[in-house]
Chains A and B, each alone.
Chain A
Amino acid sequence: MNYKQWAMVALAAGLSGCFGGDDDDHSLPPDGPATASVPDSALASPAAYTAFTQTLVAQPSETGEPLSADKVTVPPGSETDEPAAVN
């Protein structure tokens, strides 16, 4: 195979990996590579949303791709909760 043919095979393998499971956390934006999403559990409550962002703070990355926020149509918020403690 020439270079172009090998590249097409590699791309096909990568895309099939993205579609290969039924993991709810994977989605395919129209024009980009596969990317993880904010999980449904993070949207269950304001406290869950805050706890989820704390996990992101604990895992900074210089190389990772950002999460898709497609599921975050109305971020869970509270008018009465006190802020969560942050260590």
Chain B
Amino acid sequence: MSLLFVRPARLRATVLAALAVATGAALASSHREAPFITTVPKVDAADFYLFMSYEPGRTDYVTLIANYLPLQDAYGGPNYFSLDPNALYEIHVDNNGDAKEDLTFQFRFKNTLKGTALPIGDKNVAIPLIQAGTVADVKAAALNLTESFTVDVVRGDRRSGTRQAVTGASGGTSFDKPVDNIGRKTIADYPAYAAKHIHTVTVPGCAQPAKVFVGQRKDPFAVNLGTIFDLVNAPVSTITDPTLIGAAPNTLEGKNVTTLALEVHKSCLVAGNEPVIGGWTSASLRQARLLDPLPKAGHQSNDKAGGAWVQVSRLGMPLVNEVVIGLPDKDRFNSSRPKDDAQFATYVTHPTLPALLSTVLNLPGSAPTNLPRNDLVTTFLTGIKGVNQPAGVVPSEMLRLNTSIAAVPFAQQNRLGVVGNLLAKGGDNAGFPNGRRPKDDVVDIALVAVMGGLCIANGDTDALGFGAACRPSAVPLGMTSLKLHDAVDQAVVPLLAGFPYLNTPNGGTP
């Protein structure tokens, strides 16, 4: 169907329908953002964070957090949300800017069913629950299902590189994962219980010990899904008024995710004199799967997965597969690797989101005119020169963190990251897109960026190196582009003061 021959009313409806999908996904980082991944939620990467640890005494460490299996309801028993033992979850680091992973941390999971049974008359009968009593400690006897995982570090190519096991205090390679927050009768003190599962580990080739935690957390992402899905049903006057950044409720407030968190000394991640590292997470499933029509008694025993690993989920910068990649290519993006990102370049240089927003917000002609959008190429594909761009960078989509820029204490962090710091002429260059901290309001930052805010900041002198075309005259919204927000304030989401930073999950009972 050629858009040139569509009646205006029908075109508007089509655009609005497309926007309902695009912006709905847009304001949920990367929750259920691609058609195939909606069928396999356990390998759905929801968010990726990469930042210098800001906990006192840990400021030379890098925290890497990958969240999976989004939109968990706390009452999701009896099975809750264990991760998939037939999946491979990975966090990749590129430390020389060539768009290829140099280190990969691989997580593999094992769910062990004890087979707890009760004597009922003269028979022993298996119980229907994952717990048979209260839980307070690691390897609690009352747990009918225990979850554990291993971590390997691979140097070089993620498949053909050198793989070594990460080990715990006693040399063991298996680590316990806490059960999800079933409720306060089962687990009276969930924060204390979960904290017992923060493991100090030895990473081969790294001089300092690291920390690892895998477990359920409260979803740290803040967004108002209902309003966004309803064709952005919010007045323009609201979403351009800075005093109303918290006017709308966070519809993810009651949701949980499963977090894979690492804290690694920066010396373990960087290479040579290059302080900038790139990071992203991926998840893979076995290529071949047979379903057993007569599964044996056990846990997930009908799934006979084999063959090679096939990547089905990918997440670096937030919102890319949500609102940058077109619908026909979202599954392809999830299966792709940064070194091949040239195939998606047009989505960045000629983004559709500004045009869509112009239509649905009834702001005709408000999309920036500096095409190709080299400002977005810099933000998403290379990093900003002098901030987080590695030398000789190969354009590719990933989060990039400059490990030589010191962390900023939580209270002093600017919720608008580098953009906010520029506007405030402040001292916080440690935020998004220089990595990503949980407090960074990436939705507001992205709205500002796509609607031309970076070009306002770039001025007529190309002060930030986004190119001469990226100037205030190319931004129809003018200074208003710097005020855009989604009316949900990321910065008020409660977090922990230290590793793993993300908050205790919502419990099955309040």
Assess whether B160 is interfacial by the CB under 8 Å rule: yes
- Distance A59 CA – B254 CA, assembled complex (angstroms): 44
- How many residues from A make CB contacts under 8 Å with B? 27
Assess whether A41 is interfacial by the CB under 8 Å rule: no
Which parts of A30-56 form the interface with B (CB within 8 Å)? 32, 38, 46-47, 49-50, 52-53, 56
Assess whether A60 is interfacial by the CB under 8 Å rule: no
Query: Which chain B residue shows the least CB distance to A86?
Result: B287
A23 CB → nearest B CB, Å: 20
In the complex, the answer to whether A72 meets B307 with C-beta atoms within 8 Å is no
In the complex, the answer to whether A46 meets B308 with C-beta atoms within 8 Å is yes
In the complex, the answer to whether A77 meets B307 with C-beta atoms within 8 Å is yes
In the complex, the answer to whether A69 meets B308 with C-beta atoms within 8 Å is no
Which residue, of B159, B290, B306, has the highest number of chain A Cβ atoms within 10 A? B306
Specify which chain A residues have a CB less than 8 angstroms from the CB of B293 in the assembled complex: 65-69
In the complex, the answer to whether A83 meets B309 with C-beta atoms within 8 Å is yes
In the complex, the answer to whether A49 meets B294 with C-beta atoms within 8 Å is no
Known contacts A46-B306, A80-B159, A81-B308; A72/B290 CB under 8 A? yes
Specify which chain A residues have a CB less than 8 angstroms from the CB of B495 in the assembled complex: none
Specify which chain A residues have a CB less than 8 angstroms from the CB of B288 in the assembled complex: 46, 49-50, 52-53, 75
- Distance A69 CA – B293 CA, assembled complex (angstroms): 8
Contact of A78 among B290, B291, B292, B307 (CB under 8 A): B307
1/0 per residue, CB under 8 A from A, across B196-236: the answer is: 00000000000000000000000000000000000000000
Specify which chain B residues have a CB less than 8 angstroms from the CB of A70 in the assembled complex: 294
In the complex, the answer to whether B290 meets A50 with C-beta atoms within 8 Å is no
Specify which chain B residues have a CB less than 8 angstroms from the CB of A67 in the assembled complex: 290, 293
Assess whether A24 is interfacial by the CB under 8 Å rule: no
1/0 per residue, CB under 8 A from A, across B277-321: the answer is: 000000000111111111000000000111111100000000000
Specify which chain B residues have a CB less than 8 angstroms from the CB of A29 in the assembled complex: 294
Assess whether A58 is interfacial by the CB under 8 Å rule: no
Specify which chain B residues have a CB less than 8 angstroms from the CB of A47 in the assembled complex: 307
Assess whether A14 is interfacial by the CB under 8 Å rule: no
Query: Which chain B residue shows the least CB distance to A49?
Result: B306
Which parts of B6-51 form the interface with A (CB within 8 Å)? none
Query: Which chain B residue shows the least CB distance to A29?
Result: B294
- Distance A29 CA – B293 CA, assembled complex (angstroms): 11
In the complex, the answer to whether B286 meets A77 with C-beta atoms within 8 Å is yes
Specify which chain B residues have a CB less than 8 angstroms from the CB of A78 in the assembled complex: 307-309
Known contacts A50-B288, A79-B163, A80-B160; A69/B304 CB under 8 A? yes
| In the A-B complex, the 9 residue pairs with the closest CB atoms | A75-B306, A50-B307, A69-B292, A66-B293, A81-B308, A53-B288, A49-B306, A50-B288, A72-B304
Some 14 contacts from A to B, beta carbons below 8 A apart, are: A50-B306, A52-B288, A65-B293, A69-B304, A72-B292, A75-B288, A75-B290, A76-B306, A77-B308, A78-B309, A79-B309, A80-B159, A83-B287, A83-B308
Besides A53-B289, A69-B292, 10 other A-B contacts (C-beta < 8 A) = A46-B288, A49-B307, A50-B288, A50-B308, A52-B288, A53-B290, A72-B306, A77-B308, A81-B307, A84-B308
